[in-house]
């Protein structure tokens, strides 16, 4: 018997695959599916065929409760094509304060300065302000509004850059001449990719003082050519005096690693953090409070990455010759903006690994 498909919008529009190999399909209504389509980082618009749900093919008789008439495959493809166009993701912009739509809202409208929502003061909408009113339910975004928002968020970077360059030139006429002459950073900073932790800003350092590498959960993996190249260059060529591994409380990568589930492409990367948990399982499992256990894993992850740095030939050989670089483990706290020094004993840690990891010969 010909397979019957009960088709509709996929609940997760990120990388969704649509099975359209059937000759017939049954489109059924499911009002409860609408909120599930939304994600915090998406803005969505109305479809001609709203409130649909996708189910896998079934052979044989129509499933109980299915309503609606059979649609041709071409009609089905048309609906899915329209869905893929209209559910294009719009990521939040940290530059413009772009707010996320509520998951309970069926749609959200993007307002810019020229399209001010009702009952809003003009003062709250600057020339480059494009934000989603979090408390107001509205209709689908207009295509031109999206284009306008994207252009404004793009242009704002160049406007800010121009102002910054002018201010620097005015306050310090030799500033850019010094930048152009080369870099001699004192620090190598290995931090998390989280956009809220810019190394120079939270440390009060200027461009040229910190050599920066960032990745998810501030990992130092010996098979990662990227981070290994950064360490080698920073130590052997730039001669950095300090290497800092900086994690942060509330790290999403660490949180994901604590979740025993398949995370697809992230699995190989997060396994490094899961290995940290395995190495310190007794200590972590003895912490009854989940949040405190989470914070402690953040700290232990930083300590393990420091140990991984100390295992590298570049660091061992440079320290034996010059007595630097010294490795530090820090954690940033969003709640007060302060860095916590985990106070690792670099020389003791180096001494303990010498029997197996001595690469100074």
Can you say which residues are annotated as belonging to the binding site for Zn(2+)?
A: 192, 194, 248, 251
Q: Residues within the annotated binding site? A: 192, 194, 248, 251
Which SS3 state, helix, strand or coil, does residue 253 take? helix
Question: Residue 284's Cα: distance from chain center in Å?
Answer: 26
In terms of phi and psi (left: phi > 0; alpha: psi -120 to 50; beta: otherwise), the region of 46 is beta
Contacts of 317 (CB under 8 A, 6+ apart): 359, 360
Out of 99, 139, 196, 271, the active site residue is 196
Helical ranges in the chain per DSSP H: 33-37, 73-86, 143-171, 175-181, 199-203, 225-236, 252-257, 267-279, 281-285, 290-310, 313-322, 346-357
Out of 109, 213, 248, 328, the active site residue is 248
Q: What angle do CA 341, 346, 350 make, to 5 degrees?
A: 150
In the block, tokens 């300065």 appear at 113
Clarify whether 196 is annotated catalytic: yes
Out of 112, 194, 246, 295, the active site residue is 194
Out of 251, 295, 307, 328, the active site residue is 251
Beta strands across the sheet bearing 339-341 = 210-215, 187-192, 242-248, 326-332, 339-341
Question: Residue 172's Cα: distance from chain center in Å?
Answer: 35
Clarify whether 139 is annotated catalytic: no
Clarify whether 194 is annotated catalytic: yes
Out of 43, 112, 130, 192, the active site residue is 192
| Separation between Cα atoms, residue 107 and residue 145, nearest integer Å | 15
First to last CA, the chain: 73
Give the active site residues.
192, 194, 196, 248, 251
């Amino acid at each position: 018997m010909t397979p019957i498909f009960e088709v509709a919008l996929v609940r997760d529009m990120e990388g969704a695959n649509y099975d359209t190999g059937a000759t017939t399909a049954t489109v059924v209504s499911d009002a409860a599916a609408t909120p599930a389509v939304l994600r915090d980082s998406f803005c969505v618009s109305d479809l001609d065929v709203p409130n649909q749900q996708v189910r896998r093919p079934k052979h044989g008789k129509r499933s109980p409760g299915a309503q609606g008439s059979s649609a041709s495959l071409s009609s089905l493809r048309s609906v899915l094509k329209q869905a893929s166009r209209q559910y294009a993701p719009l990521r939040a912009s940290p530059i413009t304060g772009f707010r996320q739509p509520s998951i309970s809202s069926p749609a959200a409208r993007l307002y810019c300065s020229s399209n001010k929502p009702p009952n809003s003061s003009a003062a709250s909408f600057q020339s480059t302000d494009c934000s989603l009113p979090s408390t107001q339910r509205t209709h689908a975004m207009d295509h031109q509004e999206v284009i306008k928002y994207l252009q404004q968020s793009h242009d704002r970077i160049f406007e800010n850059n121009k102002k910054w360059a002018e201010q620097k030139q005015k306050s310090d006429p030799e500033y850019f001449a010094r930048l152009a002459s080369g870099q001699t950073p004192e620090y190598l900073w290995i931090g998390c990719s989280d956009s809220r932790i810019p190394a120079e800003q939270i440390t009060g350092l200027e461009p040229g003082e910190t050599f920066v590498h960032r990745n998810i959960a501030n990992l130092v993996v010996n098979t990662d050519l990227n981070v290994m190249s950064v360490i080698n260059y920073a130590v052997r060529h730039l001669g950095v005096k300090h290497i800092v591994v900086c994690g942060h409380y509330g790290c999403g990568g660490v949180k994901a690693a604590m979740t025993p589930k398949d995370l697809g492409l992230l699995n190989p990367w997060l396994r490094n953090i899961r290995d940290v948990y395995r190495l310190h399982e007794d200590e972590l499992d003895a912490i009854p409070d989940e949040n405190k256990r989470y914070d402690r894993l953040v700290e232990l992850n930083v300590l393990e990455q420091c140990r991984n740095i100390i295992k590298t030939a570049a660091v061992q050989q440079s320290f034996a010759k010059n007595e630097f670089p010294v490795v530090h483990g820090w954690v940033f706290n969003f709640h007060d903006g302060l860095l916590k020094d985990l106070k690792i004993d670099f020389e003791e840690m180096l001494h303990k690994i010498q029997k197996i990891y001595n690469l100074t010969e």
